[in-house]
Structure 1
Amino acid sequence: MSVVVQPVAGRRDLREFIELPFRLHATSPYWVPPLRFERRQFLNPKRNAFFKHGEAQLFLARRDGRVVGRISAQVNAAFDAQHTDEPPTGMFGFLEFEEDAEVAAALLEAAAGWVREQGRERMLGPMDFTMNDEAGVLIEGFDREAVIKQPWQPPYYQRILEELDMAKAMDLFMWELKISDRESIRPIIFRLADEVEPKYGIRLRKMSRRHLRREMDLFAEVYNAAWRANWDFVPYDKADLDYLASELQLVFDRDWFMVAEGPEGEIVGVAITIPDINMVLKKMNGRIFPFGWWYYLRRRKITTRCRVSFLGVKPEFQHTGIAAKMYVEHFDMAEKTAVKWGEMGWILETNTAMNRGMEAMGGRIVKKYRVYERPVARVASGAS
C-alpha cells in the first residue's frame, strides 16, 4: 500500500502523533518516554511560546490506515531576523518513522512542501521546534540512555536520511563528565577558579526559585551575548523566558542553578544544570497517574546524573576564568548531593573553545547528533 501523509487535524490525530514513538521505541532500554500530558501542552499553540514568533504544521504518515510516521514543519520569525545572510530557512522536527525509506521520503516531501509554501528555500532539522529543544538525529551513542531534552533514535534513522540525500548541516556533541572525580581535572582549572574573586571581584551565587522569572532575564542577558556567534543562534525574548521559567520550575534545584556577578553586581555568567528528570520519567512511563506523581516527589533520591544545559560567560569576561569557577562549583556540588555524573551539551562540533574545555575537565564525547539540511525544491522521492 502507498504511504499517505496528511496534516494533523483534531484530537485523535494529535493523540496518534504523540503515541507513535511509544510504539516505535517501547522495547528500547535507552529511549525515555515523555509525559503525554507535557507533550500535549508543548504542542499547544496557546501554551508554547514558540508560537508567539513561529508557525508550524504537524503531519502523520499512514499506510493502509495505520500510522507509520510523523513530522513537523515550521518557520520561525526570530530565526529569520537573526540570520538574514542565509537562504530563507524553514525547519522540520518531531521526526519518527518505521524502518522504511518510502515513509521517510513521504514525510520529508510533505514538510518541504509546506516550508516552500511559506517562501523558504532551505529546510533544516530535525528540531522540536527549536535547537534549544530536542534536536538532531543520534549518530553515535545508541547504547546510552537519553538524558533530559535529548532524543534517542535507532541507527536506521541516520542511514535512511542519508540514503535520501539529506546533507549534514552540523554535528552536536554530548560530553560525559564524572563530576565526582576531581582527579581527572587539569590543575589549571582549579588555579583559574581560585583567582576569579581576588583578581576580578567576580562571585558566584545560586538562583532563587521564588525569583526564577527574574533570574531568567539575567540568563537571557548572558545567553544573547555569549551565544550570539553560534551557528544556530536565536535570541530569547520575553515570551520565551516566561515559558522557560515555567518549565524550569518543575526541575529547579538550587544547588545547580547559578549566576556569576561582577564587582558592581552586574551579571557576567550563568550555568543551568538540570538533575536528570529522565531517570524519574522512565519510572513514570509517560503517565502521572496512578503512581507517576510518587516518583516525581522522590526525584531527588532517584536522580544521580545531570545535564549541563547552559554554561556561558559574556564575551568581555571570558578571560577571567569564571567558566572554570563554575566548573569547580559543579564538582563541589557533586560532593554534597546524590548527583555524581552527567552530560554536558550539546556543543557544536565547531565550538573549539568549549570542546577543549571539556577535554581539560576530563570529559569524553559519548553521543553525537546530526542536524540535516536540503533545498526544499529538491525533496526526497525514495532511497538511493
Structure 2
Amino acid sequence: MSGHSDGPITIHPVKDKNDTREFVELAFRLNRGDPAWVPPLKGEVYSLLTPGKNPWFEHGKAQLFLARRKGRTVGRISAHIDELALAQPAEQGMGPGTGNWGLLEAEDEETTRALLVAAEDWLRRQGMHRSLGPLSISVWDEPGLLIEGFDNRPTVMMGHNSPLYRGWVEGTGYRPIKQLINYDVYVKEGFSPLVNRIVAAGEKNSRIQVRKVDKKNFDAEAALIMGLLNDAWSDNWGFVPLTDSEIAFVGKKLKTIVFEDLVRVAELDGEAVAFIIVLPNINELLIDMDGSLLPFNWARLLWWLRKPKSRALRVPLMGVAKKLQNSRMASTLAFMMIELIRRDAVRDYGTERGDIGWVLDDNQGMKAVAEAIDAKVNRVYQIYDKML
C-alpha cells in the first residue's frame, strides 16, 4: 500500500462489465503482497455482485464505485440498501433509515475518505440517515472489518483486509458498534472431562437424537436447517431473515463443500431443534489458485472434494431453537454436536483445529461454549456506524 497522492481522486459509479472487472481485479492487485490474504474465486465474487445471480438483489439494491487517480484505479466501495434490514427493529442494529457500505479496498487514506463520502452521498440520496458497515454485501456474507488477527490466514468464507483500513475508516468519523469474534480451538486431543461428562449424559438421554444430514435429501435438509437458523438467530443483533430463494442459493453454493458427517441436526422428542454446519477449509487450496479454476484448478478442487484432508475446519453456523436458548438443554445439544463432529473430523479428515465464528460480542451462550472447549480468540471483526 503506497501513500502517494499525486493528483486528484475522481469517483466513478460502476456502469458496465469493464468497470465490474476492474472492481473485482483491484482486490487482487492491492492484496497480492499480503501472505494472509486468500484470493477468492472470481466467479463467486461476480455472482455476489450480479442481480439475477445473487437473490439478495430481490430485496436489496447496490451501487458500486471506483476511485481513480490519473486514470489508474486506486480504490473501490459498495453502497447498498436492504429492504429486509430496513424492516427490522432499530434496537436490533439495523432498522429504518440504515444503509450499508462494504467491499472497501483502497491504496491510501485519501482514497478511502473519497470512497466513503461517495457511498454516504448515495445512501443519503436514497433517504437513509445512518450508514453501517462494512458488510459485503449482506450480514450473511462477510460482515465487519478485520481489526485483530492479521497474521493468520482466514478459513473458508472469512474476510481479510489491510491493518491500515481501521485507522482510515475511523478517521472519517465511524464509531465501532459491534464486534464479531472468531475462535480457534485445538480439537485433536478432545475436550475437558466436564464437556465429556455432559456429552456422555446427553448420549444416554433417550429424548435426544443427533443425526447426520442426508445429502440425497439435500434441499429438504437445507430448508430445515435454514428455517432453524432464522428462528435461532432472530433476536440477534444485525439479524436479517434469509428468504426462501436465498436459502436455495446458499444451499446450492455450499452443496459441493458440505459433507454429511460434518453437519449435524439435533432432535428433541423427534423435533429438530438445533444444528451445526462445519465446512472443510477450502482456503488451503485457494491460496495457490489466484482466484481462477482454470486451467487445472478444477481438477485439483474436484479431487480434493472427493475426500478432503483439512487440517482446519470452520463452523460458520450453529443454532438452537429460540424456545430452548439459555437452557441447560441448549448447551448439552451444542456440546454433543461439536464433539460428534470432532471425532469424525479428527479420524476421517486429519483435522487438528477448528474455527468457530463469527460470534457476536454479546452472545453469552456461544462465548460460554467456546470457553468450555478451551477456544481462544484469533480474529476480531468490527462493524461501524455513522449518522448521515
The verdict on a shared fold, with TM-score over 0.5 as the criterion, is yes
The offset of 1:317, in angstroms, is 3.1
Q: Show the counterpart of 1:55.
A: 61
CA contact (8 A) 2:207 2:268 kept: yes
- One-letter amino acid of the structure 1 residue matched with residue 243 of structure 2: D
Is the aligned partner of 1:212 residue 2:218? yes
User: What SS does the aligned partner of 2:284 have?
Assistant: helix
Change in 2 beyond 3 A, CA 1:127/1:200: farther
Partner of 1:173: 181
SS of 1:224 mapped into structure 2: helix
Cα pair 1:213 1:241 within 8 Å, conserved: no
Contact 1:87 1:122 in 2 (8 A): no
TM-score by length of 1: 0.93
2:280 counterpart residue number: 275
* 332, 338, 345: which one aligns with 2:343: 332
Deviation at 1:186, TM superposition (A): 3.0
Aligned-pair identity in percent equals 35
Equivalences for residues 277-292 of structure 1 within 5 A = 277-292=282-297
Do the aligned residues in 1 keep the contact of 2:309 with 2:351 (CA within 8 Å)? no
Q: Secondary structure at the match of 1:213?
A: helix
Partner of 2:76: helix, strand, or coil?
strand
Residue-pair matches, total = 372
- Cα-to-partner distance string for 1:54-109 (whole Å, 9 max, x where unaligned): 111111111111111111111111111223554510011111111x2210111111
Aligned counterpart, 2:302: 297
The reply on whether 1:130 has 2:138 as its aligned counterpart is yes
Q: Distance in 1 between matches of 2:347 and 2:54?
A: 35
1:1-384 superposed matches below 5 A: 1-84=7-90, 86-98=95-107, 100-182=108-190, 185-199=191-205, 201-264=207-270, 266-299=271-304, 300-318=307-325, 319-320=328-329, 321-337=332-348, 338-376=350-388
DSSP-derived class of the 2:253 partner = helix
> In structure 1, what is the Cα distance between the partners aligned to 2:165 and 2:309?
31
- The residue type paired with residue 285 of structure 1 is D
Q: Write out per-residue CA displacement over residues 221-280 of structure 1, whole angstroms, 9 at most, x where no aligned residue.
A: 22122111111111122011111111111211112111111223x211010111111111
Distance 1:228 1:272 in 2: 18
SS in 2 for 1:329: helix
- SS of 2:37's partner is coil
CA distance in 1, matches of 2:256, 2:80: 27
CA distance in 1, matches of 2:15, 2:288: 31
Report Cα offsets for 1:174-206 as digits up to 9, x if no partner: 100112121xx3322222222224436111111
SS where residue 87 of structure 2 aligns? helix
Distance 1:262 1:302, change over 3 A: closer
Structure 2 letter corresponding to 1:5: I
Q: CA deviation at 1:287?
A: 0.9
Contact between 2:88 and 2:96, CA under 8 Å: does it hold in 1? Answer: no
Once the two structures are superposed, residues 114-170 of structure 1 have per-residue CA deviations (whole angstroms, 9 ceiling, x without a partner) of 111221111111111112111211111110002111111121011111122211011
**Structure 1: which 5+ runs fail to align?**
377-384
* AA aligned opposite 2:312: R
CA-atom RMSD in angstroms: 1.5
Relative to the length of structure 2, the TM-score reads 0.92
Cα deviation for residue 289 of structure 1 reads 1.0
Shift of 1:301: 4.1
- The answer to whether the 8 Å contact 1:283/1:295 transfers is no
Q: Distance in 1 between matches of 2:215 and 2:134?
A: 32
Three-state SS of the structure 2 residue aligned to 1:15 is helix
- Counterpart AA for 1:90: G
Q: Supply the AA of the counterpart residue of 2:142.
A: E
Letter in 1 for 2:10: V
1:283 and 1:294, CA in 2 relative to 1: closer, same or farther beyond 3 A?
farther
Measured in 2, the distance between the counterparts of 1:304 and 1:79 equals: 36
**Per the alignment, in what secondary structure is the counterpart of residue 103 of structure 1?**
helix
Moved over 3 A (4+): 84-87, 197-200
CA distance in 1, matches of 2:11, 2:379: 31
User: Contact (CA 8 Å) 1:305, 1:342: kept in 2 or not?
Assistant: yes
**Post-superposition shift, 1:367?**
0.6
Report if aligned partners of 2:55, 2:249 keep a CA contact under 8 Å in 1.
yes
For 1:349 and 1:200, locate their aligned partners in 2 and report how far apart those are by CA, in whole Å.
34
Deviation string 1:37-64 (CA, Å, 9 cap, x unpaired) is 2211221101101011111111111111
- Aligned counterparts of 2:58 and 2:252: Cα–Cα separation in 1: 16
